[in-house]
Amino acid sequence: MQETSDTSIPLLVCGDRHCLDGLIILLISASKQTKRPLRVFLMTGSFQTKRKQYQAFRPDQIAFAQSVLQEHSPLSTLTCLDETKELNDGFASSSVYNSKFSPYALMRLFTDCHPEMGDRVLYLDLDVVVTGDLEQIYSSDLHGRSLGMVKDEVGSHWLGKNYCNSGVLLMDTAKIRENHGFEKTRDHLAHRFYFMPDQTAINRVFKGDIALLSPRFNDQHYLHPDTVVRHYCKWYRLKSGWRDVTAKPWNQARFEKIYGPKTHQEVLEEYRAKMAMFLKESGSK
C-alpha cells in the first residue's frame, strides 16, 4: 500500500441538480465508512445540448449536501466547481456532447486543471454506495501508473480483457499533468465517438498506464462482505433472454424488489429521512 501524507482524502463527484439523491446517498455512506476526513469536490454546470437543458446544483442543495457530509465527518468539506466554460469550450462542437450519456461524466477529464485537488484524487460515480473505508482504495499502489481502475464486468468480455469501468477512478493527477493524459483524452473525444464515450476513451488513451484494482473497489454486480464500493451501473441478467436488472438505490420500489429491503437499509433510511426534511423545508416537490 502506498502511504499518503495528507490527512484528508480528495473525492471528486460530478452532476447536476437532478443528481441530488445519488449525491446524498454517496455522502452518507462515504462519511459513515471512512475514518479520514473527505475533501469533496463537486463539479457541476449549466448548459444546453441538442438533447436537453442541464442545470447546475442550486446553492440550497449544495448547503444541504455539506451539512449531510459534516454530520458524520465534521472535518470534511465540500467545494463546488462550475465547469460550464470548460465543458462548452472542450466539447460543445463534438458529437460526444449530444450522446445519450450524461455530459457531466466528461467533467472529470478536467481534473488536471485543478491543482487545488492535490496530486492524487479519487473519483466516484453518483450511483454508488460506499460499504467500506475509502482509504483502502485511495492508498492503493498504482505501481507507477496514472490511473487505478477495476475491470468492467460486461465490457471486459466484449471490448478487451482489461477493459475497465470508469465509475471508480483513482487518479495520480501529478503524473497525468506531466504526461498530458486527460488533455489527450479530451482531444481524443473531440474527434471520435464511442458508445460509452469517456469510458472507452480513457481505456484507449491510458492503455498500458492503468493499474488494475481489486473488484471489491467497484463491485458492479453483487455485494460481498469485503466490498468497498457497490456500483449500481446498468447490467443485464441472462434469464429467459437478456433482462435489464438495473436499479438505482433512490428508486425504492424497484431497488427493494431486486435487492431486498435490507440492502443498505440503514443508509437508505437515513437518506430518505433527510431528503424528506430538505424537500419540506425548501418547498420543493
How many domains are there within the chain?
1
Is 191 domain-assigned? yes
Q: What are the C-alpha distances in Å from 241 to residues 155, 236, 237, 238, 244?
A: 19, 10, 8, 5, 10
Helix axes 181-191, 197-205, angle to 10 degrees: 130
Is 60 domain-assigned? yes
Strands 38-44 and 9-14: parallel
Domain that holds residue 237: 9-282
Is 4 domain-assigned? no
- Half-sphere exposure of residue 138: CA atoms within 13 angstroms, side-chain side: 28
Is 40 domain-assigned? yes
At 275, which amino acid appears? M
Is 266 domain-assigned? yes
Is 69 domain-assigned? yes
Q: How many CB atoms lie within 10 A of CB 266?
A: 11
pLDDT, tens digit, 9 for 90 and up, residues 86-101: 999 988 888 887 777 7
Question: Which residue matches cell numbers 471512512?
Answer: 34
> Along the 285 residues of the chain, how does pLDDT read in single tens digits?
444 446 999 999 999 999 999 999 999 999 999 999 999 999 999 988 877 889 999 999 999 999 999 999 999 999 999 999 999 998 888 888 777 777 888 999 999 999 999 999 999 999 999 999 999 999 999 999 999 999 987 766 667 689 999 999 999 999 999 999 999 999 998 887 777 788 999 999 999 999 999 999 999 988 999 999 999 987 655 555 555 678 999 999 999 999 999 999 999 999 999 999 999 998 764
CATH of the domain at 209: 3.90.550.10
Is 1 domain-assigned? no
Query: Is the torsion defined by CA of 144, 167, 116, 23 positive or negative?
Result: negative
Cα 66-77-28 angle, rounded to 5 deg: 50
Is 2 domain-assigned? no
d(CA 25, CA 272): 9
By C-alpha distance, which of 112, 104, 113, 124 is closest to 47?
A: 104
d(CA 126, CA 174): 25
Q: What is the pTM assigned to this prediction? A: 0.93
